[in-house]
Amino acid sequence: MGIVKVIEVIAASENGIEDAMQMAVTEASKSVRNIDSVFVKDIKAHVENGKITTYGVICKVSFRVD
């Protein structure tokens, strides 16, 4: 049985929650290999003048340790 490590990542996007999740995985992939899953712990949005401008996610990214 292998070891799985979990890190917490915060990411944002102007295009939506799914894009913010993808940004979290894309950025984590730059320094972490073997990513298996992403769990969205929290969702937030920044608002200006009554409009949502940025979507943010706090994710737990799981990956297998070599």
Indicate if the pLDDT at residue 45 is higher than 70. Answer: yes
Give the total residue count for the chain.
Answer: 66
C-alpha to C-alpha distance for 63 and 58, rounded to whole angstroms:
16
Q: Residue 22 — pLDDT band, cuts 50, 70, 90?
A: very high
Indicate if the pLDDT at residue 37 is higher than 70. Answer: yes
Domains of the chain: 3-65 (3.30.1660.10)
Indicate if the pLDDT at residue 1 is higher than 80. Answer: no
Indicate if the pLDDT at residue 53 is higher than 80. Answer: yes
